[in-house]
Every structure is written in C-alpha cells, then in structure tokens.
Structure 1
Amino acid sequence: MLRLGNPGRRISVGLIGMTFVLSIFAGRLIQLQGLDSKVYTAKAAEQRVRPEKLPARRGAITDADGHELALTLEAREIFIDPSVVSAAKRDQVATALAAELGVQKEPIMAKLAAGGRYQQVAAAVDPTVAQRIMDRDFKGVGSKHRYRRDYPGGDLAGTLLGFVGSDGTGLSGLESTYNKLLAGRDGEQFVETGLEGQRIPMTGGTLKAPVDGGSVRLTVNRDIQWAAQKAIADQVKAVGARTGSAIVMDVQTGHLLAMANAPELDLKNWQKAPPEDWVNRSVTDVFEPGSTNKVITAAAALESGAVRPESVFSVRDNIRCADQVLRDSHPHPMERLTFSGVVATSSNVGTILAAQKVGDEKLYGMLQRFGFGVKPGSGLPGEEAGLLPDWRNWSGSQRCTVAYGQGVSVTALQTASVYQTIANGGTRVTPRIVAGTTNGEGVFTPSAPGARTRVIGERTAKEIAGMLEAAVSTDGTGNLAAIDGYRVAGKTGTAMRYDTRCQGYCGYTSTFVGFAPADKPRLVVLAVVQDPQKGHYGGEIAAPVFKKVMTFALKSKKIPPTGTRPPAVRIRAGE
C-alpha cells in the first residue's frame, strides 16, 4: 500500500532548515553590521574617499618698481580614468584632447590603453582650454585646479631668475634660492568619488588649508635690464663671440640694477637650452681680468707712497721677467710716461715697473682687500670666488703678470665691485640683488644693506678716478666709451683666455668697466665679451657696449651731467 508522507514532519523539517539558513544569515549580518562593521566601513571609505592636494599659489618675483618678472597664473590639470573610457570611445577622446591641447594623439592613446584609474594628460592648461574640454562631457576625463609659472619677459633676466620644474619646485637661479619662501605650503582635503571617478558634491572636508607663498623684490630695474641684455647680445653676435655679460651697479648702495648674460635663457622654453646656458655667467664664469686689474696695482702703489700720479717712468715696449719677455699691446719707442699716463694708456711694462716698487706681498694684500679670492657676497646661486694664488707661490713671470691681470682669476661681479669701490671713494659695499621679501600675509621685510668696508683712502680713490677719466679721453685706450655731455671714468681690459677645450690659452677676454659721472659717481657698468672672433681689444669690443648701457641707464635714472670740466692730466713727461 502506498503511504502518504506525514505533512507535519515535512513542515517541521522545512522549518528547521529555514531556521538554520536564517540563523546563518543572521549571524553573518551580526558579523557585518556589528562585529566587523568598522572594518568594512573603513574599506568602503577607502574606495570612495581619497586625499587631494590643495596647491599653494607660488609668490611673485618683481623688479625694484614692482613689475612682475615671474608670476603664477591659474591653470588646470587634465587627467583621464582609462577604466571608464570604452575601447570604442578611445580614439574620439584622444583626438579631441590632442586637438585642444596642441599635442600628439598617440601618447594619449597609450595612456588610455594602459589601464588603471588615473593618467595625467596635461599638467598646467589654460582654464579656458580646460573648460572647452570639460564641455565635451567625456566620461573618464576630468580636470583639477592647478597653477602655472609664467615669465612675461621671456628671457628677461632669465639666468638670474631661474625656472621651476613640472612640480612647481625651483630648479635654478633665484627660483631655487628662494624656493621655500616662494612655494608656500600646500594644503590637503578629502573628497568622495562615485563609481566612475566623478566627485560627489557636498562631501569631503579640508584637512589643511594651503598657505600661499611670499614674494621677492629685486634691486633690478626692468628697463635697464632689457637695455643691458640687448646691448651685450647684439655685440656677442656682431663679433662672433662665445658668451658675454653686462652688469649695472649703484655706486652708493651696491644694488645691482641689471645683470645680463648672452646667450640669455628663455624661461618659457628652458628645456630646449643646453645646461651650460642655465647658469648666471656673471657670477659663475671665472676669467683673467687683464688690464682692468691695473687699478688695483695703482691703488697698492699710491697707498704705499712709492708712487704718485705725476711720478715719471721710462717705459719701453718690453721687459724681461724671469724667463719671459713681456710686452705692451703694441710696439713703441721708449716713452717717459707719468704714472697717470701708464694707467691711461694701459701700459703693461709701466704697470710692472710700478708693481716692483710695491712688492709682491703688498700687491697680494691689496688684491685681497678688493675682494679677490673670496665670493662677492651677493647671495646669488653659483657665486664663485675666483682664483688668487698665495704670493709666496707666484712664479717668476707671474710676479709681473699679476700686476696687469694675468695669473689671477675673477668673475664679472668681482670686477664690477672693484670699480664700485673706487667710485665710492674707496669704500666697498657688498653687492645686493634682493631688495626685500614679502611673506604670505603681505608683510614686507627689506634686506639688510650691504656691508661697507674701507679698502683704500679717499685721496687714492680720487686720484685713480682721475687716471680712469684720462683713459676715456682721446689719449686713452677707452675713448669709444665716452658719452657726450658726461664725464666718464673707465678702463679697458684685454686678456688671453684660458680654455679647457684647447687645454691652454686660446682666444681673448675683452672687457670694459667704468663709472659716471666721473666726478660724482652714481653708476658702474661692466661689459665682458668672451672669445670674440672679429677683433679682441677691450677698447673696441667691450667699450661700445658700456657706452650704450651707461647712456640708457643715466637717462633711465634721470641722472644729469655735472656740468664740470675734467682736470688736466699729464700723460707724458714734459707735456
């Protein structure tokens, strides 16, 4: 007989089974919502909540009058989330982004194919361009608020200012030196994102607010900087030279009004320039100064009392020093020159005769007092000290050549500082390029004035100034530096150039440095040209640069002529 199942039993078994299953679900719910709730809550937050950097705005670098030489502009970062861009849409997205950003499509396609959740396409895009991209409403394409560094002048003071990297960190020049002040401090916040990476509105909070960077005000005058750059660049090109530098300096304060180099660095395209063009040659390049150094020999001779401006020397066109015969720049019969005439006509032989009256130790001491062998103290990155061998180690011929600027090495800034000292009545003022800084709250702190050091007496400085004024006269070697209406004092320099490429002396360094007005000095201008191919004398290569820059600077600073006449300077005995 067929027996029917017991319904009660089936129901009981079913209830037991359901109870068992439900108890498992209940236990799991208790585990998830009770025991392990914090763990899963944290994992969920980790998936949808992420930290985001809030970039600080980098501070500006301005000239002395507040004109911005380096500034920060609003920008946007463009990124993609390859995980939500379908394969069918990749070509369309890459084509559109490439067209808007002005880049190649292939790298964008590669990033879309790479997978992952985040790929940067462009670091700093103009906000209007970013908005056009976002208006296309592509899934997986987003933008973030960023800043970008801009240099309105392009290459204006390029090597002086320096540049920043893609992350906004200063890599060279003043951008690097003052990076901590300029950069400020980035902030941070947490944001929640949806499944496709889109930010969920009204969520998240700021963990740390950004602090904008401070600014740096320079002593540089924008217009004078431009004039100095143009003059030195034009001359370097005209004479086929390798490089050049020009400096404009305030006599009384030591402030640097211009510091130009050629070639100069285009800060908007610095990646395209070779690394050797990233440095500020005015403070990094070391060279033998040549005849511009004769003023130090003159100072040592006058200060020691061994020579007076009217002292007469019998000067031939050559002189033997140890195993070397040293010569003047051109052959001439024996001349009876006053010491003023020796400096004005830039006689090597006459300078050696004066140095022999001083002695090696005293000449070395005077070179030290003028700052040779130590850094000028401007605080500029890469500043070099030059080379000043101890006088006890001078060779036989070096005991003579040091007197006219061969056998020692300096930078352009050190040379300019020597003439600032003479123009300032014998008192050296440590050069300054930074007028002051402003912190993130807008509080300006002026820089401490340059240290003042008495190097030579006022009388000696005045006597040397008279010799330098004679050097710019028709009887001197620097007559191409004369400026109509102004009294100008200055000195030519022509030195053989040591070059590592030829492992010896090859080529020349042509220099002119001076100040004006000669009887009431306000500005020092230096021009140095390295390895010119069309001529090499400082009077013909560098003096015209001095004249252009000094003329512009005098007018720009509204410095009038003094209206006085230079005193008569006797060049030759019997005149």
Structure 2
Amino acid sequence: MRPPAVLRLGNPGRRINIGLIAMTFVLTIFAGRLIQLQGLDSKVYAAQAAKQRVQSEKLTARRGSITDVNGHELALTLEAREIFVDPSEITPGKRDEVATVLAAELNQPKEQIAAKLVNSASRYQQVAAAVEPSVAQRIMDRKPRLVGVGSKHVYRRDYPGGDLAGTLLGFVGADGTGLSGLESTYDELLAGRDGEQFVETGRGGQRIPMTRSSLKAPVEGRDVRLTIDRDIQWAAQKAITDQVAATGARTGSAIVIDVPTGQVVAMANAPELDLKNWSKTAPENWVNRSVTDVFEPGSTNKVITAAAALESGAVRPETVFKVNDNIRCADQVLRDSHPHPMERLTFSGVVATSSNVGTILASQKVGDQKLHEMLQRFGFGTRPGTGLLGEEAGLLPDWQKWSGSQRCTIAYGQGVSVTALQTASVYQTIANGGTRITPQIVAGTTAENGAFVPSAPGKRTRVVSERTAGEITGMLEAAVSAEGTGNLAAIDGYRVAGKTGTAMRYDVKCQGYCGYTSTFVGFAPADKPRLVVLAVVQDPHKGYYGGEIAAPVFKKVMTFALKSKKIPPTGTTPSSVPIRAGER
C-alpha cells in the first residue's frame, strides 16, 4: 500500500514577483507607446487628426463688372445658390418625394435628379449650379424639411443685354473663367483672387462650435469700363442685323469711332452671340468678326491711293484724267464698275464716281513702292492695336512680289486684305486731319480701392498732311453728292463725307471669288468731323453694290449717333468740287 501524497503549498512570494515582472513589462510597453504618441510622434498624429477634423472651404471672389462708357452694366455678377444632395442621408423611401419636389422647383427632369439620389456611396451630388436665392430658400424652408438636400452661396454671371455686344464682351465658363471676348482678355483683372476658410467639423460634417477657424478673405475682381456707348451699340447692331437679314447676306459688321480720340463707340456684328445661351452656339460664331474676319476692301481703299498720289505731288484734285471703261494691266483687261464712253474726269471726280480705271491711272504716277509705303502708314499689314482677342493684321503683300495685275488691282482695293476695324481706322485718320490714333476699346479700369483709373490715350501717328486729308475730305463729300456713288448715305442738314466699296469676295469653300463684299464708310460733320461709321455686309444675295447695300446702314447708324451725342449740324455749305473737266 502506497503512502498518501503529500500536498505542498506554493511559494506566494515567487508568484507575486513573477506577476510584478509581467505587469512591469506590460506597463513599460504602454509607457513607451505613450512616449512615442505624445512625445516623439505627437506632431505627426496631431497633424493627421487636424487634417481629418479641419476642413478647407474656397471663398469665391466676386467677378468685376464690364460697363459701357456711361457706367451701364453690360456684364455683371449676381448672387446665386447651388443646390446639392447627400444621397447617403436619403432613405430609399424618401427618394421619390425629394426628386419630385426638386424637379418642380428647379424645372428639371425628375428622372435626371432621381438618378443622382440612388448613388448612395456618394456624399455630394450637384443638382443645380446657380439658382435664384429665393428658389433655394423656398426649397430649404420646406416643411417637412427635405433631409439630405443643401444649398451654398455661389455667384453667376449675367448679361442684361442678351446679345448686345455679345462677341465683343464674350462669356465665362462654369468655373467662372473667361472663355472668349473681353471676358477672356481681362480675365485676371476681372476675376480677383479667391479666399479660403478653414473650420473644424465633426464626423457628420457639422461645424464644431467654439473651435478655431481661420479666414483668408477673397479680393473682389475689378471693373472694366469700355468706350462703347450702350445706346449707339444697340442702334448699330439693329441696323446691321436688319440689313443682313433683308439682303440674305452671310454676316455683317458696323463700327462707330470717335474721331478726336480714336475711341470705339460701337462695334456690332451680325449675327451676334446671345450670351445667355452661348453654349448652344457653334464656336465659330463666338468670334468678334469686326477684328477677326479679313476681306478685300474694294473701293474704300481708293482714299489710300489718293493720299499717296496727293502726298507725292504727282496729282492734284483738279488733275484731269482721260478715263475709258477698261484698261489693260499685264495679261488682264480690267473694267470700271459700269460701261461708259471715255470721260475727262478730275481726280476728285475719279474718287467721287469710284472709277477703277481712273484710280489705276493715278497709281501709275505714284509707283508700287510709294503706294505700298502709304498702305503701311495707314496700318495695313499690322494689327490695329486694341488688344482684342483674335485681332488680325490682314494681308499686305510685299510690293516687289506684286503680279502684273496686282500692280493695278491693289490701287482699288483688290489683292490686299483688311478687317473692318482697320478700314474704319483709315477714315478716322482722314477725318482727324491726317493723324491716326490707335483705336481704343477700354476707357479704364478700377483699382483695388475702387478708384477709376483711365486708360492711356491712343498713340498718335502723323500719316498724311492736314492739307492732303482736307483735299480727300472734299472728294469724299462729292462721293455722297447726287453725282457720287454714295448718295444714299446723305443725311439732311449735315455735311457727310464717305466712300462706297464693292469688292469681289474670296471664298475658301468655292476656292475662288464667289459673291461680294459691300461696304460704306464715312464721317460727319464733314467740315468738323466727330464720328466715323463703317458698315460692311458679306455676301448679300439681294443686290451687292456698297452704295445700295451698306450706305443705308451708315445713314441709320450715323443719324442715330449724331442725335444721341447731341452733335448739331455745322450750318456751312460745302465747296463745289469739279468732277469733270471744265466744270466749276
């Protein structure tokens, strides 16, 4: 029989020591981790926590306005509200109700909104980019409240005139960036600088009260004041639009320039761009045709040939030319605008009756090089200098490369290409006594403190003598007389000087000359010029002579502008200009 087992008691002191060692080890690990978290890596973890808790919010700067010369707003920024939804907060049972209400308030298809609500993985879906504040308030105040629907403050760009000066002003995109016209050219100045706000938010995105926040305030955009007169712009736009429609033309442009300053008072194109619906218009119709489209000027160019002839001393206004209705130039026979027997025309008569043959005879007394130099002095081959988006320089071939026929056709405006603004600038130079002033479209801008800062005056360049400019003015007055080609431009009570232009139109599609460019440009009062008006109509299908198609537009626009500017008739009588030999 085995003896019973002896039960021995454990050593309590040893167990306690082992336990203390284990606890000490665990506590040491915890202490080391705390030292790492709160000491060595505290800044790293604090930064990560702040990143999760602190949210950044962009504070959009208010875009500056574009105004006319009298301060009337042509482009301005209005307050609006963005409507958005958080699909994760909208239960499936509430989706139809939310979609129905938003569709009715925002005038959007219900199906389009419903598609955004089913995206439960998303916390943010934009429903409307910019709605009236009153509409947003009505949505947010709805009882019972629409859970998951929110709004935030935004801005929207507005153009009160719709298509008034549309291609000149241009437009902004959804992000507020200028995409065309002056909105693009002056985007940096108009846009200002966005600000930024940092706030602490909880898990649900709500701001935590009494927590820190920082603010970098936005800097509002500055205003741009144009030289454009809103009322005259409207009249010019209506006149050219009506005539393009009436003649079945492709396009047209009308420009008004203040003679003493070179400031552009109106710059209209047809068709114009509706700035409230620009996204529905083809991009090729976003451009400002007054400065981008080039064309052969035709007989309006004869004043430059006249200037070259008079400045050289080879011709005087009373110089007589024997003018047939055709002339041979190299391998081509060039004809006058209409058949006629040989005429003895004074040089004034050549310009007044717009004789191609007479103009060629005068240019042959000048020479190719001097004619080319005069074209350059009037600004051909260089940009006018307004800084407008897409401004073209036109085409002026080197005189040494002129073909045999070009040596004749360039004299009457075929073989060179210009823009409408370049042509108007030529006549501003004549009207201003031979001094060209760089055309100006921006009267000034506002500084950051709101003070108006006027633009520097346009550069002044002497092109021809005052005597030559005066003699050409007399010829242009005769052109608007009963015997001239521009008699439909005459305005009762005013002395008007101007010139018709009818040029064959080069068309890329037909790869040749197809159709015509009809032009009239002139100034009034002729003896004390204040305004230049140009009208150009491209490819009319109901008539094509400049005196028939463009001169009536000139008359309407000039008559309105003279009245609007309160420019009275001078009350003087023009001197008699002999058109044919032997006349007095």
Q: Which among 195, 200, 224 is matched to residue 232 of structure 2?
A: 224
Aligned to 1:187: 195
Instruction: Note if contact 2:200-2:213 (Cα within 8 Å) is conserved in structure 1.
Output: no
2:58 is the alignment partner of 1:53 = yes
Comparing 527-536 and 90-99, the one that deviates more: 90-99
| 1:504-515 matched pairs, under 5 angstroms | 504-515=512-523
Q: Which among 103, 113, 123 is matched to residue 117 of structure 1?
A: 123
Aligned to 1:127: 133
Aligned to 2:104: 99
2:81 is the alignment partner of 1:76 = yes
Aligned to 1:475: 483
Q: How far apart are residue 110 of structure 1 and its match?
A: 2.7
- Code of the residue aligned with 1:517 in structure 2: it is P
Comparing 436-445 and 266-275, the one that deviates more: 436-445
Aligned to 1:364: 372
Q: Which among 164, 172, 179 is matched to residue 180 of structure 2?
A: 172
2:525 is the alignment partner of 1:517 = yes
- Code of the residue aligned with 1:542 in structure 2: it is A
Aligned to 1:335: 343
Following the alignment from structure 2 to structure 1, what is the Cα–Cα distance between the partners of residues 483 and 91?
83
Aligned to 2:283: 275
Following the alignment from structure 1 to structure 2, what is the Cα–Cα distance between the partners of residues 261 and 468?
26
Following the alignment from structure 1 to structure 2, what is the Cα–Cα distance between the partners of residues 387 and 5?
118
Following the alignment from structure 1 to structure 2, what is the Cα–Cα distance between the partners of residues 496 and 5?
127
Comparing 440-449 and 38-47, the one that deviates more: 38-47
Partner-residue secondary structure (3-state), 1:224: helix
Following the alignment from structure 2 to structure 1, what is the Cα–Cα distance between the partners of residues 50 and 101?
34
Per-residue deviation, residues 503-542 of structure 1 (Å, max 9, x unmatched): 1110100000000000110000000000001000000100
- Code of the residue aligned with 1:96 in structure 2: it is V
Aligned to 1:464: 472
- Structure 1 residues 67 and 16, CA, compared in 2 at 3 Å: closer, same or farther? same
Comparing 18-27 and 195-204, the one that deviates more: 18-27
- Code of the residue aligned with 1:94 in structure 2: it is A
Partner-residue secondary structure (3-state), 1:540: helix
| 1:93-492 matched pairs, under 5 angstroms | 93-114=98-119, 115-136=121-142, 137-201=145-209, 203-492=211-500
Q: How far apart are residue 93 of structure 1 and its match?
A: 1.9
Partner-residue secondary structure (3-state), 1:506: strand
Gaps of 5+ in 2: none
Instruction: Note if contact 1:296-1:367 (Cα within 8 Å) is conserved in structure 2.
Output: yes
Instruction: Note if contact 2:254-2:268 (Cα within 8 Å) is conserved in structure 1.
Output: yes
Instruction: Note if contact 2:298-2:414 (Cα within 8 Å) is conserved in structure 1.
Output: yes
Following the alignment from structure 2 to structure 1, what is the Cα–Cα distance between the partners of residues 214 and 41?
28
Following the alignment from structure 2 to structure 1, what is the Cα–Cα distance between the partners of residues 313 and 454?
42
- Structure 1 residues 191 and 142, CA, compared in 2 at 3 Å: closer, same or farther? farther
Instruction: Note if contact 1:181-1:439 (Cα within 8 Å) is conserved in structure 2.
Output: no
Partner-residue secondary structure (3-state), 1:325: strand
Following the alignment from structure 1 to structure 2, what is the Cα–Cα distance between the partners of residues 212 and 420?
37
Following the alignment from structure 1 to structure 2, what is the Cα–Cα distance between the partners of residues 6 and 508?
123
Instruction: Note if contact 2:435-2:462 (Cα within 8 Å) is conserved in structure 1.
Output: yes
Per-residue deviation, residues 178-218 of structure 1 (Å, max 9, x unmatched): 11111100000112334333444554523411111111111
Question: What is the identity percentage for the equivalent residue pairs of Structure 1 and Structure 2?
Answer: 80
Following the alignment from structure 1 to structure 2, what is the Cα–Cα distance between the partners of residues 268 and 204?
42
Instruction: Note if contact 1:248-1:259 (Cα within 8 Å) is conserved in structure 2.
Output: yes
Following the alignment from structure 2 to structure 1, what is the Cα–Cα distance between the partners of residues 43 and 338?
93
Partner-residue secondary structure (3-state), 2:93: coil
Per-residue deviation, residues 319-349 of structure 1 (Å, max 9, x unmatched): 1111111111111111111111110010101
Q: How far apart are residue 29 of structure 1 and its match?
A: 7.2
Q: How far apart are residue 301 of structure 1 and its match?
A: 0.7
Instruction: Note if contact 1:376-1:431 (Cα within 8 Å) is conserved in structure 2.
Output: yes
| 1:21-60 matched pairs, under 5 angstroms | 38-60=43-65
Following the alignment from structure 2 to structure 1, what is the Cα–Cα distance between the partners of residues 85 and 347?
76
- Structure 1 residues 20 and 333, CA, compared in 2 at 3 Å: closer, same or farther? same
Q: How far apart are residue 76 of structure 1 and its match?
A: 1.6
Normalising by structure 1, what TM-score?
0.94
Following the alignment from structure 1 to structure 2, what is the Cα–Cα distance between the partners of residues 428 and 416?
11
2:540 is the alignment partner of 1:535 = no
- Code of the residue aligned with 1:108 in structure 2: it is I
Aligned to 2:67: 62
Following the alignment from structure 1 to structure 2, what is the Cα–Cα distance between the partners of residues 140 and 39?
34
Q: How far apart are residue 50 of structure 1 and its match?
A: 1.2
- Code of the residue aligned with 2:417 in structure 1: it is S
Following the alignment from structure 2 to structure 1, what is the Cα–Cα distance between the partners of residues 152 and 495?
59
Which one has a bigger Cα radius of gyration?
2
CA RMSD of aligned residues (A): 2.5
Per-residue deviation, residues 123-155 of structure 1 (Å, max 9, x unmatched): 222111111222233232222221111111111
Following the alignment from structure 1 to structure 2, what is the Cα–Cα distance between the partners of residues 541 and 462?
27
Partner-residue secondary structure (3-state), 1:88: helix
Instruction: Note if contact 1:290-1:405 (Cα within 8 Å) is conserved in structure 2.
Output: yes
Instruction: Note if contact 2:331-2:404 (Cα within 8 Å) is conserved in structure 1.
Output: yes
Aligned to 1:550: 558
Q: How far apart are residue 46 of structure 1 and its match?
A: 2.9
Following the alignment from structure 2 to structure 1, what is the Cα–Cα distance between the partners of residues 573 and 482?
15
Instruction: Note if contact 1:469-1:490 (Cα within 8 Å) is conserved in structure 2.
Output: yes
Following the alignment from structure 1 to structure 2, what is the Cα–Cα distance between the partners of residues 472 and 158?
32
Following the alignment from structure 2 to structure 1, what is the Cα–Cα distance between the partners of residues 282 and 166?
14
Following the alignment from structure 1 to structure 2, what is the Cα–Cα distance between the partners of residues 302 and 244?
32
Instruction: Note if contact 2:61-2:219 (Cα within 8 Å) is conserved in structure 1.
Output: yes
- Code of the residue aligned with 2:81 in structure 1: it is R
Following the alignment from structure 1 to structure 2, what is the Cα–Cα distance between the partners of residues 488 and 395?
36
Instruction: Note if contact 1:213-1:439 (Cα within 8 Å) is conserved in structure 2.
Output: no
Partner-residue secondary structure (3-state), 2:363: helix
- Code of the residue aligned with 1:98 in structure 2: it is A
Normalising by structure 2, what TM-score?
0.93
- Code of the residue aligned with 2:122 in structure 1: it is G
Partner-residue secondary structure (3-state), 2:92: coil
Partner-residue secondary structure (3-state), 1:109: helix
